[in-house]
Amino acid sequence: MSIIVQKYGGSSLADIDKIMRVANRIIDAKKQGNKVIAIVSAMGKTTDNLVTLANQISKNPPKREMDRLLSTGEEISMSLLAMAIQSLGENAISLTGPQAGIMTDSIHNKAKIINIVSDRLLKELENYNIVIIAGFQGLNENNDIATLGRGGSDTSAVSIAAALNADLCEIFTDVDGVYACDPRIVPNIKKLTAISYDEMLELANLGAKVLHPRSVEVAKTHGVTIHVRSSFNHNIGTIVKEENKMEHNGLITGIAHDFNVAKVVVFGIPDIPGTAANVFRELAKSNINIQMIVQSSQINNKNDIAFTCSLSDARDAKNILENIAKELGAENILIEENLAKVSIVGAGMMTHSNIASQMFEALAKSDINIDMISTSEITISVIVDSSQCEKAVKALAEEFKLV
């Protein structure tokens, strides 16, 4: 008997009709002779609504309580779905993350799964139960509920698939799979039949919302094949797996964009050994996640250092650096917020040298000004004004023949 792990996102569980439809789909999978585990997200916009409630009390609510609050959304879905399956005459049981043995580290709001104690899960499957598990949550070393970061149910599903050595991990969502860019920007964009772990990981990290980045990391480490597909039809979606050289998607596989980016500039610091170390040491201490860094060449023995990070990290970074500006010898600290990051991703880049110039030409033709540039082995990212983001994505989709 095969073990199948399915994950249903919030839009697939948004109301009772949809929950009944998901229940039928899970029962079908069981009737085909499989042991089925389903991981669920919170219904519809539940998590957003809970965040809004908390923010009416505080802009910076205590992280432990926030985790406890947000984790309730998944618990509503899991119970309703288990009831729905039982109402259709099948055996099902719902388990919270802790009941399912999902153990995390102790970083509230962005915990990582460190272990899954699968005894209970396996026992329930042996009893011919369909097991429904609350995604996004686990139990940390202090016996407290921790959540995995927004979108984290994907990671719960892939981690359980890895722990049980499942035959398949299906991620059900409201679109037909992974597209080469956001179809809300380019409606006729290509759907990808398959994508490698490395490319998917870059796209997810650079802002594509379809999969939680950590889920792709776990899949890659444990060799879990992911099938991203729609819960509203039976179409084949997108397979995320180890790269197969024969199936290259072309030079560029996808385009990601991200509005959650800001630039911090440290003006006029002395051009002597140790200044960059001083700046980034302080930021690292506060867990600020730095993305791009640019240091200008020195004038009058002074440098400017600019870097990008998420909006909330940038605001924290500005405060931290202002407090130590004197020690750094910095003249001024500035933050710029109305920006977006647009990135192209493709394993084909490793063997072609002219992709960067092709990208910049395409942006120039659309009269888009580039603020910062960074590259890695399989990505090129640019920072542009946020008002230019959609135009940039469209131009690049055309240029790299992704429509």
Q: Where does this chain bind ligand ASP (CB under 6 A)?
A: 10, 41-42, 47, 73, 135-136, 150-153
Closest to 290 measured CA to CA, from 308, 266, 267: 308
Q: Please provide residue 322's backbone torsions phi and psi, each rounded to the nearest 5 degrees.
A: -65, -35
Task: Output 51 or 294, the one with its CB closest to ligand ASP.
Answer: 51
Closest to 400 measured CA to CA, from 207, 237, 190, 211: 190
Stretch that binds Mg ion, among 12-20, 100-108, 130-138, 146-154 (CB under 5 A): 146-154
Least Cβ distance, residue 19 to ligand ASP (angstroms): 15
- CA-to-CA distance for 260 and 386, rounded, in angstroms? 10
DSSP string of 223-250, one letter each residue:
T--EEEEESSS----EEEES--GGG---
Q: Is 116 helix (H, G, I), strand (E, B) or coil?
A: strand
Q: According to the binding rule CB under 5 A, does residue 237 interact with Mg ion?
A: no
Task: Output 136 or 172, the one with its CB closest to ligand ASP.
Answer: 136
Stretch that binds Mg ion, among 1-9, 69-77, 96-104, 183-191 (CB under 5 A): 1-9
Closest to 89 measured CA to CA, from 39, 23, 3, 155: 23
Least Cβ distance, residue 46 to ligand ASP (angstroms): 7
Closest to 349 measured CA to CA, from 199, 240, 186, 197: 199
Task: Output 151 or 213, the one with its CB closest to Mg ion.
Answer: 151
| Distances 32 to 4, 27, 36 between C-alpha atoms, Å | 11, 9, 10
Stretch that binds Mg ion, among 144-152, 161-169, 180-188, 216-224 (CB under 5 A): 144-152
Fill in the DSSP letter of residue 328: H
Residue 101: which of Mg ion, ligand ASP, none does it interact with, CB under 5 to 8 A by kind?
none
Least Cβ distance, residue 104 to Mg ion (angstroms): 18
- CA-to-CA distance for 323 and 289, rounded, in angstroms? 19
Residues in contact with Mg ion, counted by CB under 5 A, come to a total of 2
| Distances 98 to 10, 113, 292, 305, 381 between C-alpha atoms, Å | 21, 11, 37, 45, 39
Least Cβ distance, residue 45 to Mg ion (angstroms): 13
| From 73, 97, 101, 151, residue interacting with Mg ion (rule: CB under 5 A) | 151
Site mask for Mg ion (CB under 5 A), range 7-46, x = bound: --x-------------------------------------
Least Cβ distance, residue 152 to Mg ion (angstroms): 8
Instruction: Find tokens 């772990």 and name the residue.
Output: 197
Task: Output 151 or 237, the one with its CB closest to Mg ion.
Answer: 151
Task: Output 42 or 78, the one with its CB closest to ligand ASP.
Answer: 42
Residue 73: which of ligand ASP, Mg ion, none does it interact with, CB under 5 to 8 A by kind?
ligand ASP
Least Cβ distance, residue 151 to Mg ion (angstroms): 4
Q: According to the binding rule CB under 5 A, does residue 152 interact with Mg ion?
A: no
Least Cβ distance, residue 14 to ligand ASP (angstroms): 12
Residue 152: which of ligand ASP, Mg ion, none does it interact with, CB under 5 to 8 A by kind?
ligand ASP
Q: According to the binding rule CB under 5 A, does residue 177 interact with Mg ion?
A: no
Contact 132, 191 (CB under 8 A): no
**Identity of residue 60:** N
Closest to 144 measured CA to CA, from 236, 69, 238: 69
How many alpha carbons lie under 13 Å from residue 138 in its C-beta half-sphere? 29
Least Cβ distance, residue 116 to ligand ASP (angstroms): 17
Closest to 25 measured CA to CA, from 74, 92, 71: 92
Task: Output 41 or 238, the one with its CB closest to ligand ASP.
Answer: 41
Task: Output 150 or 318, the one with its CB closest to ligand ASP.
Answer: 150
- CA-to-CA distance for 190 and 401, rounded, in angstroms? 9
